[in-house]
Amino acid sequence: MIETRDLVKTFDGVPALDGLSLTIPDGEFVVLAGPNGSGKTTLVRHFNGLLEADAGEVLVDGTPVQDDLVAARVAVGMVFQHPRDQFVAATIGEEVAFGPRNLGLPHHEITDRVADALDAVGLGGRDEERVAALSGGEQERLAIAGALAMRPAHLVLDEPFTGLDAPAQAAVRDRLAALKAAGTSVVVVTHDLRDVADLADRVVVLRDGTIAADGDYDAVHERLPDLGVRQP
Amino acid sequence: MTAIGLSYAPGDTVVHRLDARTKLLGQFVVALLAFTWTDALALPVVWALVVGGMALARVRLRSVFPGYALPFVLLAFATLTRTVTLGPPWVDVDAGLAATLHSLRVAAILLASAVYVQTTPVSETQAAISRLVPGKPGRFLAAGTSFVLRFLPVLLADLQSARAAQQARLGDQRRLHERMQTVALAGLNRAFERADRFSLALKARCFAWNPTQPRLSFSRTDWLVSAGFVGLLAVAALA
């Protein structure tokens, strides 16, 4: 479970999060929506300690994130908005192995994790292919595989559909549906609900660093246009 | 698109299969021979090594140029400025010959490095350096080298896209120094932004100074090739 309590974060005196409290139970598919600058990315970067709050706290499975950053980063896998920027290797297999190697795992475990993660995103058996030769949708799926190889309990994806064409969006969406079916908690950050509305157990809408709406899609959808969120 | 010249290209050639330490030794030997062996035989031997390595690794010149265009242009420019004089006799043959030989030495080292980079995954380089330089200095050096090898191709691609964006809006009509200024500034801005995002991604994936290194194995071929390199060094020392 991910829990934030009265989270406050400011950048150069401008509040990005303003006393935000949110609980994400295990296994839930949450869409974190809101217009640009509403605090979505800032919020999720607190989930694994990439940002430190000015006030308030974040707990992952009951442990304050800042007490054990490695545990938090293993538990909360993160896929960033520009997947190409997070790639560290020239080939697909090396790329996915990067995280497990950092954990100091034995070789056979790393091999297993790489194979499982690539299978989960539909890139199985392509270990030796060049990352630079992948399409945008494949790069997004590779970034997801890189996060999955850490075997996270929660997977956070920041704007995973940005810049993808319709078939690539569908492929990523299918993979997210499969992850949801497998019981992984998924948090998708987006300003456009059209791709994930039917997958979402819950939609949380942020505005000015606070929660403006929180509930299942049917409960919040009428308010979405006023909150700057595109919907189906 | 990332320039292949500065990044690993998967393959199954004999050079790909060599241990990273053997290839590092090869790099060292080529560099040493190129600059310390002054015999007339030296340059042909060094180039034979480099061309042979490229052929065995199936590294094409065409794939090397995107990454090494700038140094090659600088070498050509340096040779030209040493050869041509601003007054009589207009062409200085001796200086030109010396500059050409010097440029050929540097070019051989660059091509040897291209063979190494294109045939060796970054993680194997990291593992090899960690084993060759023990302790903390080795880990720092290995991680530093791996960052450079990972980041440089992306940086180069950024500069190329900044240049293309400039050309698309007729930026190539401007003076050379203005074009260079614009591309350099845009490239630097992107590099800093990218470095921020890259470092965040490393943190998110639990970057460690002592990760599990890939297995390195010194095969019979590695022993033979390494012995050949050492033999060459001995011949050069005795010559």
* Closest alpha carbon to A24 in A69, A75, A74, A70: A75
Across the range B65-82, mean pLDDT stands at 86
Nearest CB to A85 within list B201, B207, B213: B201
pLDDT of B81 over the 60 cut: yes
Set of chain A residues whose Cβ sits within 8 Å of the Cβ of B1: 132
Domain A2-227 CATH class label = alpha beta
Instruction: Choose the closest CB to B208 out of A82, A86, A102.
Output: A102
Contacts of A11 in chain B (CB under 8 A): none
Q: Between A129 and B85, whose confidence is greater?
A: A129
Supply the pLDDT for residue B5: 60
Say yes or no to pLDDT of B18 above 90: yes
- In chain B, residues with a C-beta closer than 8 Å to the C-beta of A150 are 205-206
Partner A, chain B 97-136, Cβ-Cβ below 8 Å: 121-123
Averaged pLDDT of chain B: 85
Cβ burial A32-55 (10 Å sphere, 16+ → b, else e):
bbbeeebbbbbbbbbbbbbbebee
Percent of chain A with pLDDT over 90: 63
Chain A residues with CB-CB distance to B192 below 8 A: none
- Residue B198 confidence (pLDDT): 83
Model pLDDT, residue A65: 93
Question: Does pLDDT of B77 surpass 50?
Answer: yes
Strands A29-33 and A185-190: parallel
- Residue for token digits 């590294």? B59
Which residues of chain B from 3 to 62 reach within 8 Å of chain A, CB to CB? 4, 7-10
Choice between A180 and B184, residue whose per-residue pLDDT is larger: A180
- Beta strand A2-11 with A29-33 is unpaired
Q: What is the pLDDT of residue A25?
A: 92
Each domain of chain B, given as residue ranges in start order, spans 1-120, 135-213
The pLDDT value given to residue B54: 95
Residues A121-144 have a mean pLDDT of 90
Tell me whether 0.95 is exceeded by the ipTM: no
CA distances (Å), A144 to each of A155, A173, B81, in order?
9, 12, 52
Distance from CA of A92 to the nearest CA of B (A): 10
* Cβ-contact B161, B182 below 8 angstroms: no
- Residue A213's H or E segment, with its range, is strand A210-215
State the DSSP string of chain B: ---GGGS-----SHHHHS-HHHHHHHHHHHHHHHHH--STTHHHHHHHHHHHHHHHHT--HHHHHHHHHHHHHHHHHHHHHHHB-SSTTSB-HHHHHHHHHHHHHHHHHHHHHHHHHHHS-HHHHHHHHHHHS-HHHHHHHHHHHHHHHHHHHHHHHHHHHHHHHHHHTTGGGS-HHHHHHHHHHHHHHHHHHHHHHHHHHHHHTT--SSPPPPP----HHHHHHHHHHHHHHHHHHH-
pLDDT mean over B29-53: 89
Facing B206 at nearest CB: one of A74, A91, A106: A74
Q: How far is A209 from chain B (nearest CA, A)?
A: 22
Name every chain B residue with its beta carbon within 8 A of the beta carbon of A146: 205
pLDDT at B2: 44
Report the 10 Å Cβ neighbour count for B134: 9
- B20 pLDDT band, cuts 50/70/90, is very high
**Edge-to-edge, what's the strand order for the sheet holding A14-24?**
A14-24, A2-11, A55-60, A63-64
pLDDT bin (cut points 50, 70, 90) of residue B1 is very low
Asked whether the beta carbons of A39 and A208 are under 8 A apart, the reply is: yes
B190 inside 8 A of chain A by CB: no
If you write DSSP's letter for every residue of B90-154 in order, what string do you get?
SB-HHHHHHHHHHHHHHHHHHHHHHHHHHHS-HHHHHHHHHHHS-HHHHHHHHHHHHHHHHHHHH
**CB distance A73–B206 less than 8 Å?**
yes
- Give the A-side interface with B, CB within 8 Å: 45, 48, 50, 70, 73-74, 77-78, 80, 82, 84-86, 88-91, 94, 97-107, 110, 128-130, 132, 146-147, 150
Q: Is the pTM of this model over 0.90?
A: no
Residue range A43-53: mean pLDDT, rounded: 93
Q: What's the pLDDT band for B153 if we cut at 50, 70, 90?
A: confident
Of A180-184, B86-90, B111-115, B235-239, the range with the highest mean pLDDT is: B111-115
Q: Which amino acid is at B182?
A: T
Mutation site for B-interface testing, chosen from A44, A85, A95, A150 by largest number of B Cβ within 10 Å: A85
The angle at the Cα of B212, spanning B206 to B214, to the nearest 5 degrees, equals 130
* A145-170 pLDDT per residue, tens: 999 999 999 999 999 888 788 888 88
Rounded to 5 degrees, what are φ and ψ at A105? Answer: -75, 155
Q: If you measure CA to CA, which chain A residue comes closest to B10?
A: A128
Mean pLDDT, rounded, for A12-25: 93
Contact A102 B122 (CB under 8 A): no
Q: Would you kindly state where each structural domain of chain A is located, as residue ranges?
A: 2-227
Q: What is the total residue count of chain A?
A: 232
Are the Cβ atoms of A100 and B212 closer than 8 angstroms? Answer: yes
What integer pLDDT is reported at residue A112 of this predicted model?
Answer: 95
Asked if A77 and A154 touch (Cβ cutoff 8 Å), the reply is yes
pLDDT computed for residue B209 by the predictor: 79
Who among B8, B10, B204 is closest to A78 (CB)? Answer: B204
The confidence score (pLDDT) of residue A46 equals 95
Cβ contacts of B121 on chain A, cutoff 8 Å: 89-91, 94
